[in-house]
Amino acid sequence: MTKTKRSILDRVNKDFAFRPCPIGVDPNRHANREHVRSILGGAAADLVRIVPESRELNHALNRIDEALSWCHKAIDRHGISSPAEGA
């Protein structure tokens, strides 16, 4: 693995690392957020290992980060179940 790839992988591992539940936050909601972070972090790390260093890899990692953001927003807005299940 090249030095650049190692640097990218270190950044991905840091960005998708587990974060402890802050005081006052719903533990179930936090657990769901961390589960999503774990899934997408694993996918991002796999991509860094498989895909050649390129602009396209950078775009893919940015989209995974964006997906994480949208998932967290949905969990925060709708809670544990999806809107369809809560109806």
pLDDT at 85: 58
- Encode the chain (87 residues) as per-residue pLDDT tens digits: 889 999 999 999 999 999 999 898 889 999 999 999 999 999 999 999 999 999 999 999 999 999 999 999 999 998 766 556 554
pLDDT at 86: 53
Residue 82 one-letter amino acid: S
Q: What predicted TM-score, i.e. pTM, was given to this entire model? A: 0.85
pLDDT at 87: 47
pLDDT at 55: 96
